[in-house]
Amino acid sequence: MTGGQLAGRHAVITGAGAGIGREAAVLFAREGAAVAVADIDRAAAEETAAAIGAEGGQAAALTVDVADAASVEAMIAAAESALGRVDILFNNAGVMLSDDRGPEDTEAAIWDRTIAINLTGVFHGCRFGIPALRRAGGGAILNMASLVAVMGSAVPQLAYTASKGGVLAMTREIAVQYARQNIRANALLPGPIGTPMTAELFDTPEKLERRRVHMPLGRFGEAKEVAAVACFLCSDAASYVTGAGWPVDGGISAAYVTAEDPA
């Protein structure tokens, strides 16, 4: 795997044991990158790394708890040791907890855990990853936000929404601060994507239909579709793109109302 749009790059991807992270890790490797596959679930990280290796790619499985600063610092050190350097950092790991509701009925523990992983976890990744990017001569940061960073939801998920809004704002700040150090930073803003996490939330036909009617494309996205945008943003094809939040939402953020299904 020497060709492709990420040929010669060295990427760290958190939350790469499943969902969007796994699809991104496999795609990045297919596009020529050596990938540090990091996840809190060591077995899941090893499965992703094995899938990459089976296709002839280079991958190292790492364990990380993004909510723990020391764990993230150790992950970056291990990635540099395994790959030689780090020039792509994809802070993808995140949670959406089932007891995350509105301001009156979300327990403080749910708020704290969500912010610790989704927002502080991205901060830890940037805090320890940016020096590694600088040592490599520059590179790309991609942070996982969400469509709810820019749109409200009538279905309460306050901690998740707040965390993702923070990720988007933090990404802009980092992009401006490090632009002249050859480091780009962008955020992904996916809409509803068919991952294990969303399957747990939308677990009945009624819940699925309630979401689908608001989607101009009429369907949930696929993890591989988000991974493809992630690959672009981390490649030289996006060399003049920084400080941006990229919707991958099937047109939801563009819609006032959606068209009816054809008869």
Residue 140, SS3 per DSSP? strand
Q: Is the pLDDT of residue 257 over 70?
A: yes
Within a 10 A sphere around the Cβ of 15, how many other Cβ atoms? 29
Residues 138-159 pLDDT 10s: 999 999 999 999 998 877 899 9
User: What pLDDT sits at residue 61?
Assistant: 98
Distance CA 57, CA 18 (A): 18
User: What pLDDT sits at residue 262?
Assistant: 74
Under the banding of pLDDT at 50, 70 and 90, the label for residue 218 is confident
Residues 223-247 pLDDT 10s: 999 999 999 999 999 999 999 999 9
Which two tokens mark 24? 């991104």
Residues 54-75 pLDDT 10s: 999 999 999 999 999 999 999 9
Which two tokens mark 202? 């939308």
In this structure, are residues 5 and 236 in contact, taking their beta carbons and an 8 Å threshold? yes
Q: Is 228 exposed, middle or buried (0-12, 13-18, 19+ CB in 10 A)?
A: middle
Q: Tell me the CB-side half-sphere exposure of residue 189, using CA atoms within 13 A.
A: 24
Taken in order of first residue, the domains within the chain and their CATH numbers are: 10-245 (3.40.50.720)
Q: Is the pLDDT of residue 199 over 70?
A: no
Q: Is the pTM of this model over 0.75?
A: yes
Active site residues: 160
Distance CA 232, CA 27 (A): 11
Distance CA 90, CA 12 (A): 6
